[in-house]
């Protein structure tokens, strides 16, 4: 019998049973390769993380799996893993090696010494027009987007559609089967103004109908808004997500630089550890 231990954290929330669920296998060295996807599917969260000894200058190397496939980078798994690993190590900054490079996460502690907030520096995305915007709008039941529909790729591909009001975002009922045909992309629909924005993210192509909190999309959303003049570069925005599926989440994002010279993208939020578990599986399964 082999034993594989994991920790469950709720990410982008400061209270349990909200935010985005994450399972972190803190020592995956002995987990057979063929079991990684099966374990992620068994757990069923939007992402599951497997941690390994660092290969380079990071503190740890992580691999991230959705229920359907491995992805090189994702936001809430990176932030949540930082909370899980840095707590016992008493680190104020942890560097995690992902498939999209090393991601540094700065951590803040409260009076009790517990980590209460983390802020990660995300990979800078590649930006391109989304050629199927008409078909995508039809699948969402929309006639138009308030801003250009563009694709951002920072390890996960995200497309962004701007709606006229937060009420319109809340009322969306997309055709999941049609969205899945667009492949492994996150479809992000958002509205808001100033520092306050509401978003919903649909990722059926990766086995996630609707994501409660999408850290990999928060940075690109802030960049999309800054590039199109909706917020100033350098201003931090607050993003609300997950209310419609009973997992309210709060994300913070900021972009430094300018449209033709992006310097840094930061995404931050809280997380809480809510459970610890163990898989006991027969040897050779």
Distance separating alpha carbons of residues 200 and 249, to the nearest angstrom = 11
Cα 103 versus chain centre, distance: 13
Q: Which long-range contacts (C-beta less than 8 Å, at least 24 apart) are formed by 148-153? A: 148/228, 150/224, 151/127, 151/185, 152/125, 152/126, 152/127, 152/217, 152/220, 152/223, 152/224, 153/125, 153/126, 153/127, 153/128
Q: Using alpha carbons, select from 17, 21, 280, 19 the residue that is nearest to residue 7.
A: 21
Give the ranges where 5-55 is alpha helix by DSSP (H).
33-43
Residue 255, CA distances (Å) to 217, 265, 278 in order: 13, 5, 39
Paired with 21 in beta bridges are: 10
Per-position b or e across 99-108, b if 16+ CB within 10 A of its CB: ebbbbbbbbe
Catalytic residue IDs: 47
| Paired sense of beta strands 93-98 and 70-71, if any | unpaired
Host H or E run for residue 82: helix 75-89
DSSP at 7? E
Paired with 23 in beta bridges are: 8, 48
């Amino acid at each position: 019998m082999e034993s594989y231990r994991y920790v469950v954290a709720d990410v982008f929330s400061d209270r349990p049973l909200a935010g985005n669920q994450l399972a972190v296998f803190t020592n995956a060295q002995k987990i057979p390769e063929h079991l990684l996807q099966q374990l992620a599917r068994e757990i069923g969260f939007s992402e599951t993380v497997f941690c390994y000894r660092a290969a380079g200058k990071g503190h740890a190397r992580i691999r991230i799996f959705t229920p359907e496939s491995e992805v090189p980078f994702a936001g809430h798994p990176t932030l949540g893993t930082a909370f899980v690993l840095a707590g016992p190590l008493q680190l104020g900054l942890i560097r995690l090696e992902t498939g999209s490079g090393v991601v540094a996460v700065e951590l803040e502690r409260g009076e009790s010494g517990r980590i209460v907030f983390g802020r990660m520096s995300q990979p800078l995305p590649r930006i391109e027009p989304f050629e199927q915007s008409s078909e995508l709008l039809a699948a969402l039941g929309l006639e138009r987007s308030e801003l250009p529909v563009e694709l951002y790729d920072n390890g996960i591909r995200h497309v962004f559609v701007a709606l006229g009001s937060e009420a319109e975002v809340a009322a969306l009922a997309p055709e999941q089967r049609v969205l899945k045909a667009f492949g492994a992309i996150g479809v992000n629909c958002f509205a808001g103004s100033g520092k306050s924005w509401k978003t919903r993210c649909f990722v059926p192509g990766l086995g996630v109908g609707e994501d409660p909190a999408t850290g990999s999309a928060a940075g690109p959303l802030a960049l999309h808004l800054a590039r199109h003049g909706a917020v100033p570069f350098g201003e931090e925005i607050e993003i609300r997500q997950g209310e419609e599926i009973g997992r309210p989440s709060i994300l913070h994002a900021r972009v430094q630089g300018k449209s033709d010279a992006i310097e840094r993208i930061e995404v931050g939020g809280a997380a809480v550890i809510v459970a610890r578990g163990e898989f006991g599986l027969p040897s050779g399964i």
